[in-house]
Structure formats: structure tokens, C-alpha cells
Amino acid sequence: MAYRLGVDVGGTFTDLFLVSQGNGGGQFRVKTPSTPHDPSEGVLVGVRRICEEAGIDVGALQNILHGTTVATNAVLESKGARVGLITTQGFGQILHLARSQTPGPLAGWIIMIKPDPPASLADTREAVERMDARGNTITALDEQQVESMVRDLVESGVETLTVALINSYVNPAHEEQIGAVVERLYPGFPVTLSAHVLPEFREYERALTACMNSYVRPKVADYVDRLQSELQGIGAQADVNILRSDAGLMTTSEAARNPIYGVLSGPSGGVAGALYVARKAGFDDILTFDMGGTSTDVSLCQNGQPTIGRETAISHFRIRVPSVDVHTVGAGGGSIAHVPELTKALRVGPESAGAEPGPAAYGKGGTQPTVTDANVVLGHLPPRLLGGEMSLDVDAARAAVQTIADAMGLDSVEAAAEGILAIVNENMAGALRLVSVQRGHDPRDFALVSYGGAGPLHANAVAELMGSFPMIVPPAPGLLCAIGDLVADFRDEFAQTYIRVLDDAAPEEVAGILDDLGVRAETWLESEGIPSDTRTITYTADMRYRGQGYEIPVAIDPTEIRADGVGGLEERFNGLHEQLYGFRMHGTATEIVNLRAVGFGSVPKPELPVGDAGGEDASGAVGDERQVWFGGEQHATRIYDRAKLQPGMAFAGPAIVTEFDSTTVVLPGYSAAVDVNFNLLITPND
């Protein structure tokens, strides 16, 4: 029997989820400590352990689907490669000119410390060449000069090269010529051509994205090669695929060549897993809520698809790669509560106690009050976690939160704890409003899927603020990212810049470009070995009002364009613009900016456990009952063991559900039910 393994490497734990391709093979879950100095070590330990628990040989693994933070960490820690950059003559300062926007308030530019770009001026060279905006050669490439520049850069010690020429998105011939020169002089030397990474207009974003690709390329390539070699060393012959930032899959060769596509694969895995679980439960429109120790990630998925953004922020840079549109807020279990002397108003986060020393309740020397400590004080967190492996220091938590009560003149430590939770819940609800209300969506039309170590602890309260029900807690919510790796499909994009006012856009020309892009997508799917019956290609046009500096993707179909022309795109775009921004600009010309084809290759999905619905009586899953604080009062609260909850069981709040990797709180006035997929569905009693 063949097996598929999802592996997600986080900062603290590496999560693994194993499923069989056939029936009867079972499913297995493992959490093992991550090894930041070499993530492959933690992966190998986990692979051995999960195969032992499943009683199978490592050679039985057919596919390993892997979400990794290697590229992300290289950027955040500034530990990438030394990058050489070749630009068009006169454009050597492109990375330093950048854009005019600066972070912070109106006068933020006064205090801003500008980050160093991934390629320094000392490692930048200008090639004698020029293409016009239509792709016609104005100045031919001087290959002799290019050879001299390449030798100079390589011999000076650069580890990778980036070629980013003006207007290469229209015609990449000169970039490809330079790439051929490098290959002739230094076979196998890593080169990134901007027109291959991002074939779209806006030269700064294209140059920056290509340079960032070069910056992380050697580290990712080394990691991928080492991981594959070590897996083969323990007997694994499985195909290894890497998760992309847009929740798709790519081969290891593509990951080594263009690692920038996977720079934010971690959050995308969680969204993919949440969407899969929700759709199995019958919900296509969801808000995802992933709360960890330091931050919370939220996103919106509609019609069974994640929202894909065209730009991603990492560290100080905004790079243009497709990624799941995830918004992060500095609110987590370790967020520190404090009362500023000036305002005397309670604040929570974004500073975090981290893993060391962590919350006061962890007993590792922490003294500052955190969200976790507030939950311990109120009884929302049981005294023992991780299946009894970790005990919480209730007295230390109360002492820490008491400092907040004293600073605010409150009568009780419980009132201070409830204040901390109210503020952090509102902060996280604010993040959810940003991805829903502020983009024209009513959160009451969406279910809320909660995961991560701390997510289910706060999700009921956050769902109450948003009006998003049911609130869904999948089984093993702390492992959902690894499940997301398993359900991700192969995905790649093929784009061409085409700037035309709609009145000037010839339907046959538009349809012809879409057909060409579709052929490229089909060719890629063929090269990946994707069976024809599992292939899908979708098309979009990036559109805007003439003169705007941002675009909105609009669904498009070549057949429709040939039959009806491009007129229908205008009304579709106007509707989307009004939904997002509350208005449409009558009388202003609408234009197409980019045309895009997205190829999908479906992969086998794991069959998660399904049970037959039985009786509603959940009393057999009750392990304890104690007094817990809700709304300023103590309530008799039952403590349920998640492992004993079966489909069909239901119970009323207040209640607390414990499992190995998370704790779920059901508030008074709400009820929880277990569906046939073993999800907890929490809804108001009304």
C-alpha cells in the first residue's frame, strides 16, 4: 500500500500527517521538535517516527508534501546569498529608487531606516542594450561587454546572478542572451532572469522579486538537495513536492530554481487545510483563524477557493508573487498585557513573551502577564497541557495578572484577566474585519474555522464579535497545516502584460493571448505528469480605471471573449470595484493591464475519518467539572475529552474541550455538536 505524507516545519514543532492511498491503511499524526539550525534533521526524525508508529517501511512513502520556512527565514534573518545584478544601462539604481511610499505615519520618512536591497550597488552592473515598450530592439546587446561584467561579478565573489532589464517582460531575448553567456562561461552558475520569474510590467517590483529569488536560491537549493539525499539514505524513494505561497505544489527542481514562489508556504498550508475541512463539512465560504503563541493569521475564502493576492510583504520588502491573502496581527497566547503610565489604558501586544521565558504560567521564569496567563486565571486553560506532559503554574499566572489589576485599580484579578481577553479578542476580530468587511464582505455570511494551538481557545468569542457561525474546530487543530500540505494541488501561473483601454482591445487579440497562455499552462501540466482528467485551467484579467496604480483580477474566458467581445468585462470590473471600495467611476475608461492563465493539477485527497451519527448524549466524554469564570461570574463547567467525542454528540456551554494540541472553549449561551467528520461545530443557542 502506498502512503502520502504531509510535513509542515514550524518554528517550534515539525508536524507530520500520514495517510494511505487505499482503504484500511489508517492515518497517523506526529509532532516532533523543529531543528532550526538544519530543518531537515527534524523532518528526518519525524519521518522515521511516523513510519514506526504506522508500522510501515520508509520505502512505502509515495509522496512527501512539504511546507518549509527556509526561504522565509533566510530573508528575515538576512542570511541569504551575495547577489550580483545586471540591469540596462542607466538603471543601476533601480533597487535604491524603489517606490515613494514609506511605512509609518505622515512623517515616517524622517525616522525610516531604509533597508539594504538584496543586491548592493557594488555588485550591480549596467549592460549596453535597450528594448522599447513594444519589445523592439533599440540597442543590441553587447555580448563582449556582458562577458566582461559576468567575469568581474563572479570572480568578485557573488554567489548568484540576477538579470533585470527594462521592458524584458515584453521581450525576454536580451535577458536570455545574458543567461546563455553565464551558462557558457560558468556552467551551472545560478542565474535568475526577471522575465521568467515575473513577466509583468513595473520594473522595480520585477527587479526586486528576481533579486529576492536569487537571494534565497542557494540556501533553498542546498536544503532541498540535502533533504532528498538524506531521505534516500533512510530508504525513501518518494517524490518530494514543496508547498507554494499560493497553496499550490511545485517540484523540488522548481523550488530550487524559483524558491521565491514558496517564501510564505507556511500560512498557505493552514488555509488550504482549513478550506478542505470546511468544504467536507459543507461550508464553501469561510474565515480562517490561526492563533499561535506570537501572532494570529486570518484570511477569507469564498466559493471554495482561497483569496490569492498578487503582492506579498516579507521583512521590509514587498515582492510580487502570488500568495494566499493572509493578514497577520500581533496577538497570540504569549502577547504581553501592560498599562502605560500616561494613558492608564490596558494594552495587549504586540510584544510577546515568546517561548523563553514564555508566559508566567509556564514556570520558566516569566513574570509579565500574558494572554495565556489570563486564560489560566479564568480557568479556560486546564492546569495540565499536552496530554499531561506540561503543568501550568496557576499561582504565578495570578501574580502576573494581579499587576494589571493593581495598575488599573480593579477589585479582582479575574476582572483584569477578562479585560485582557476582551482586548486581544477585539484585536483579532479587527484583523478579520480587514479581510472581510473592509473588502465588501459580510462576515455573517461566513463560517469561522479555528486552528493553531491557541485558536480554539478564543474562537467562540471572536465568532461572537463577527457573527460568523458555525465556528468550526477540526480534529487535531494544531496539525492542520500538515493536512493542508496533503490537500494542495499543483498550481502555476502564466501571465503577459497587455495594457489596453477596453475600447482599443481587440477581442481576437485578447482571446489569442489567452489561448497562448493556456497552451503554456497545458504544457506545464503535461511536463509534471498530471493526468489530463485532473487538469484545470482558469483565466483572469488584471483591470483598473485608467490612471489608477492598482488592479483588480477579473475572471475571463477566451470562448466568451470571442463570442461576446470584451464589453462584459467592464461591468464585471465595475461591480468588483464597487464591492471593494464602495464606488464606481462613471465616465472613466477601463483598461486591461495583465492577462493570466492558471493551471491546476488535482492530487488525491486524504479521506479523513468519518463516522455515523449516534446519540446526542456526551456525558461519557466528561472528565471533570469545575468552576470557570465567564462574563464576571463563575459557572459550573464540564471538561470534555475530545478523543471520546463521537459524531452526533452535542452539549451546551459553558464547556471546555481538551485534546493533545489545543483547548476549545464553548461560551455560555452556545452549543457544540460533533459532525460526521469529527469537527466541533459551535453555534448560538438562539
342-371 pLDDT, tens digit per residue, is 888 999 988 888 766 788 998 888 899 999
Sign of the CA dihedral running 533, 534, 537, 538: positive
With 80 as the cut, is the pLDDT of residue 382 above it?
Answer: yes
137 bridge partner residues: 131
pLDDT at residue 432, as a whole number? 96
Phi-psi region of 678 (alpha: psi -120 to 50; beta: other; left: phi over 0): left
Strand, helix or coil for residue 652:
strand
185-237 pLDDT, tens digit per residue, is 999 999 999 999 999 999 999 999 999 999 999 999 999 999 999 999 999 98
438 Cβ partners below 8 Å, 6+ apart?
none
CA dihedral defined by 80, 81, 82, 87, rounded to 10 degrees?
-90
Strand, helix or coil for residue 272:
helix
Q: Residue 661: pLDDT band by 50, 70, 90 thresholds? A: confident
With 70 as the cut, is the pLDDT of residue 528 above it?
Answer: yes
* Residues above pLDDT 90, as percent of the chain: 71
Q: Number of helices and strands (H, E) in the chain?
A: 18, 37
pTM: 0.87
614-623 pLDDT, tens digit per residue, is 899 999 999 8
**The three cell numbers locating residue 632:** 464576571
559 Cβ partners below 8 Å, 6+ apart?
511
If you ran DSSP here, which 8-state letter would residue 488 be given?
P
pLDDT mean over 50-72 = 90
Please check whether residue 485 is in contact with residue 567, taking contact to mean a CB–CB distance below 8 angstroms.
no
With 90 as the cut, is the pLDDT of residue 523 above it?
Answer: yes
| Cα separation of the two ends of the chain | 48
**The three cell numbers locating residue 546:** 485608467
pLDDT at residue 364, as a whole number? 82
With 70 as the cut, is the pLDDT of residue 557 above it?
Answer: yes
State which of 157-166, 403-412, 521-530 shows the largest mean pLDDT: 157-166
566-572-575 Cα angle (round to 5): 150
pLDDT at residue 355, as a whole number? 61
pLDDT at residue 386, as a whole number? 46
**Could you tell me which of 585, 596, 592, 576 has the C-alpha nearest to residue 507?**
592
Arithmetic mean of pLDDT over the chain:
91
91-150 pLDDT, tens digit per residue, is 999 999 888 777 666 776 677 777 889 999 999 999 999 999 999 999 999 999 999 999
With 90 as the cut, is the pLDDT of residue 469 above it?
Answer: yes
